[in-house]
Amino acid sequence: MHFNKIISILVLSSTFIINGCSNKIYNNYSTPLLDSNKISINGDIKNNDPIELLIQPSPNKKIFGIPLGLSIYNLGKDNPDSLFDEWLLRNPKRISRLNKFLSNKQVIQLKRYNMLFNNWIKSSGEQPVFLSNEDIEDNSKKLIQYYKNNGYFDVKVEIDSLVKINKAEIIYKIETDSVYKIDYVTYNIIPKEIDSLVSSKIDESFIKANEPFTISKLIDERDRIIDLSRDNGIYNFQQRSISYKVLIDSSGTDKKIPIIVNINDLESSYEDKIDEGYSIKKVNEIKVYVESIDELSNINSYTDSISYKGIDIFSKGSLKYSPKSLTEPIFFNIGDVYSEKNKILTSRYFSNLANFKYPSILFEEDGDDLSSSIYLIPRKRFSLGFDLDLTHSNIEDFGISVGSILDIRNIFRGTENLSINFKNSIGASKDIGIPNDSFFNLFELGGNLNLRIPRVLFPININSLVNKEMNPITNINIGTTVQKNIGLDKQYYTGIYEIGWSPSKRSKFNIRIFDFEYVNNNNISNYFNVYKNSYDKLNYISSIYNIDQNIIDGSGDLIVPEGANTFINSVLNNQTTIQFDSDIYRDVVGILERKERLTENNIIVGSSIIYNINSQESILDEDFYQFRWKIETVGNLFNEILRKNNLNEDSKVEISGVTPSQYFKSEFNYIKHLSLTRGDVLALRAFAGVAIPFGNSDNIPFSRSYYSGGSNDNRAWKAYKLGPGSSDNYNEFNEANFKLAFNLEYRTSLFGKFKGALFVDVGNIWNVFDDVEDPAMRFDGLKDLDELAIGTGFGIRYDFNFFVIRLDVGFKTYDPSYEKGLRWLNDYRIDKAVFNIGINYPF
């Protein structure tokens, strides 16, 4: 009761404060400010209708009722220099004191800084939007034209306005009347070749009888005819050859519109030239010219030439590319009818090779046919880049990483590209159990080779499924990483052989035919120095139940690693007072199982298929969806090949003491962005993934498992700190083999380049079909969906145009690690919040 009263008082107080601040801002101006634009269509007020985008300018944006951008703008002054001078002269002693303390030059500089800061405030804020009769009249005209373009030729727009407390509300009242429809369509085509083309594809026309009339349909039909003509031999077809006659009854009685499509012949550019009209052209000659980027670039002639499959290739200096690699990207052949589409595909293919700058493809009339010339300017064969990173983690207090990448283009003369990447890092840590260590006591060295081949290399011929129009590629990657004093001093060896292609503009296939990873732990004895939570829990148990004083140090703590390992063995061999069926015993067994899992060496050999769909047209498109589906199978074929002579006592395949992993994995990821009015965006994501071990494995390798939390996941928890299930997540790295995640985020502009967001993150990880027996960590049915954690929060982002830096603050709204009935809002306070800094948006 008292709580509800307090909330009511706070809400009322906040409302009065917000309204008071808002009104004060508007009262600063003598001219009414535009507060809202409303649209009424046939008597119904429409909210968030796309037609609102036509009405400009938009009112000053409000956050919780306050025009925040306008408030920021008002903090700036129109005359900062004179105000600064006035401030200096207001106190006669101020100038002398400042000159004495700063010097005269520094006072002048202070004045300049004041002006720059004032200008930054003005540019970051939002200028006031005033009520303007001219704007209202322009908007009325735009609305009328919009509806006429969509077939409502009898539309009427009236304006209602209301000015209150210096704030103006404008209502655009639109009466559309009924839409006009297309009566019939007549094509009047003079060029015979185009007449036959259009007639053969008449069913694809965008303008059809009895459908509503729109200008967009006329534009789409015009573009269709242009593309149809240029893709079928009419290489010089002009847009101006197409015109429309739209016969509208001006009285409005007959709302059926006849349309006549006129297509005229080619207009002569010269008065004395005989107009031959449009005709279908064929390609009778193809020439490729390879320029030079060295000293030969200044000569006008080409010094080397070769003919390959009827295509003439010329180069300045000796030709450094195989003839096949220069002719393969060409999508048209000698004797083919000219096609604009094939010209674009050729240009795109050459650009995707990353060996040439944007190619120039020209067609010239050669008698009745066309001659094609393709000009290629090579990129530099070698390019070298460097990067520098500063890092911090739970293991590494401070780290410096220096990387370099060397790109070698056209390494085998077939436009293949080789990338050689090296990365070296050093770091400092005082908590890894190394006595008498120096400041920089961590070391990591890694490198990889990646060969990109612009065609599919596959054991069997799949050209019938994958053609060059799909931009096929083959990637071969080999890499290794060696760590020293970092965790368990792991060594990684990787090898990847994959092919990919794009069946359509929006979709992409990637098949990882061979995916190899070998993880070797060289410093297993350091485990309890790295995974301190496991050690602390084990140490606490030993302080109660340990009876062997030889395994503890002077402080009574277990010696690492001998003491910890000995105590675990004592518990398992019933040499302590811990009962076999007790929770304490299960905790010790769990610590041992996790230690064995995280310290075991892994061999992963598998294959995967990834299918992507992306409807986003460009980075500015905020109304799109993305879908990703991955299927991965590991260890099946590899283990069967080795099974005959490499079985251990558990009937599992084993190589040099390592049991190769075996599992099946599948993932679904869906992202949807909905563009709202005034640039606001509603973004959502849904993810589901499961990895099921079988055969040679009882669990999933740590590197291939799932975790929850972090700046791109559930932001109310740190990475690896959520789950599994309802467990109390006491480990440094909590992971499992089943994951669900759902995210919803509302993004809006605040002022200037500052953006804001409100988000809800839902998700968790569980163990399923593996060797984990703790019911709190397992997913045993739909009832465990009540363990989905919920985080809510807000974010502030700054847009640098080429990237976005963001700060997200997440609050634990529903925490499944608590007992049922205590999970809601138990840690919903600022001292329990998680602050995440990230680059670009999380999804």
CB 148 within 8 A of CB 51: no
- Choose from 287-301, 476-490, 683-697 the range with maximum mean pLDDT: 683-697
Q: What pLDDT is recorded for position 430?
A: 61
Question: CA 542 to CA 525: how far, in whole Å?
Answer: 19
| pLDDT reading at 7 higher than 60 | no
Q: Residue 692 corresponds to which tokens in the numbers above?
A: 């099921």
* pLDDT (mean) for 807-826: 94
* pLDDT (mean) for 490-509: 94
- What is the layout of strands, in order, in the sheet containing 44-46? 44-46, 33-41, 167-175, 156-164
- Give exposure, 512-545, as e/b (b: 16+ Cβ within 10 Å): bbebebbbebebebbbbbbbeebbebbbebbeeb
Q: What pLDDT is recorded for position 5?
A: 43
Question: CA 34 to CA 70: how far, in whole Å?
Answer: 12
Question: CA 619 to CA 802: how far, in whole Å?
Answer: 10
| pLDDT reading at 4 higher than 50 | no
Looking at 424-574, list the stretches that DSSP marks H as alpha helix, in order from N- to C-terminal side. Answer: 527-530, 532-545, 562-572
| pLDDT reading at 538 higher than 90 | yes
| pLDDT reading at 625 higher than 80 | yes
39 forms beta bridges with 46, 172
pTM above 0.85, yes or no: no
Question: CA 481 to CA 679: how far, in whole Å?
Answer: 44
CB 259 within 8 A of CB 245: yes
CB 604 within 8 A of CB 524: no
pLDDT digits (tens, 9 = 90+) for 161-182: 999 888 999 999 999 999 999 9
Query: With pLDDT > 90 as the criterion, what percentage of the chain qualifies?
Result: 59
Q: What pLDDT is recorded for position 676?
A: 84
Phi, psi of 187 (to 5 degrees): -105, 120
Of residues 430 and 46, more confidence is placed in 46
> What value does the mean pLDDT of the chain take?
88
Residue 701's pLDDT band (cuts 50, 70, 90): very high
Looking at 406-490, list the stretches that DSSP marks H as alpha helix, in order from N- to C-terminal side. Answer: none
Q: What pLDDT is recorded for position 596?
A: 86
Question: CA 738 to CA 663: how far, in whole Å?
Answer: 13
408 forms beta bridges with 382, 418
For residue 724, cis peptide bond before it (omega within 30 degrees of 0) = yes
CB 326 within 8 A of CB 359: no
Q: SS3 sequence, 214-233? A: CHHHHHHHHHHHHHHHHCCC
Of residues 9 and 41, more confidence is placed in 41
> Can you say how many angstroms the Cα of residue 142 is from the centroid of all Cα atoms in its chain?
35
Q: What pLDDT is recorded for position 453?
A: 96
507 forms beta bridges with 613
Question: CA 358 to CA 381: how far, in whole Å?
Answer: 16
Q: What pLDDT is recorded for position 51?
A: 87
pLDDT digits (tens, 9 = 90+) for 735-771: 999 999 999 999 998 887 889 999 999 999 999 999 8
Q: What pLDDT is recorded for position 13?
A: 40
CB 769 within 8 A of CB 692: yes
The residue among 774, 767, 595 whose CA lies nearest residue 698 is 767
| pLDDT reading at 152 higher than 60 | yes
Residue 729's pLDDT band (cuts 50, 70, 90): low
Instruction: Write out the DSSP string of 129-149.
Output: -B--HHHHHHHHHHHHHHHHH
Q: What pLDDT is recorded for position 474?
A: 96
Summary count for the chain: helices (H), strands (E): 15, 29
The residue among 240, 237, 214 whose CA lies nearest residue 226 is 237
Q: Which residue has the tokens 């390494």?
A: 411
Stated as kind and residue range, the H or E segment containing 124 is helix 104-124
Of residues 729 and 680, more confidence is placed in 680
Question: CA 391 to CA 713: how far, in whole Å?
Answer: 20
| pLDDT reading at 658 higher than 50 | yes
Map residue 26 onto helix, strand or coil. helix
* pLDDT (mean) for 621-630: 93
| pLDDT reading at 843 higher than 60 | yes
Looking at 258-380, list the stretches that DSSP marks H as alpha helix, in order from N- to C-terminal side. Answer: 323-327, 340-352
| pLDDT reading at 17 higher than 70 | no
Residue 14's pLDDT band (cuts 50, 70, 90): very low
CB 662 within 8 A of CB 635: yes
pLDDT digits (tens, 9 = 90+) for 508-534: 999 999 999 999 998 888 889 888 888
Phi, psi of 15 (to 5 degrees): -60, -45
CB 532 within 8 A of CB 486: no
pLDDT digits (tens, 9 = 90+) for 419-461: 999 988 887 766 544 545 556 667 789 999 999 999 998 888 8
CB atoms within 10 A of CB 141: 11
Q: What pLDDT is recorded for position 179?
A: 95
Phi, psi of 579 (to 5 degrees): -75, 145
Measured between alpha carbons, how far is residue 836 from residues 188, 803, 808 in Å? 64, 17, 5
* pLDDT (mean) for 529-544: 90
pLDDT digits (tens, 9 = 90+) for 586-602: 889 888 988 888 888 99
Angle CA 35–39–44, to nearest 5:
130
Residue 189's pLDDT band (cuts 50, 70, 90): very high
306 forms beta bridges with 313
Angle CA 552–554–559, to nearest 5:
30
How many residues are listed for the chain in this entry? 843
Question: CA 578 to CA 572: how far, in whole Å?
Answer: 9
Q: Tell me whether residue 826 is exposed, middle or buried, using C-beta atoms within 10 angstroms of its C-beta: 0 to 12, 13 to 18, 19 or more.
A: middle
Q: What pLDDT is recorded for position 437?
A: 53
Looking at 676-729, list the stretches that DSSP marks H as alpha helix, in order from N- to C-terminal side. Answer: none
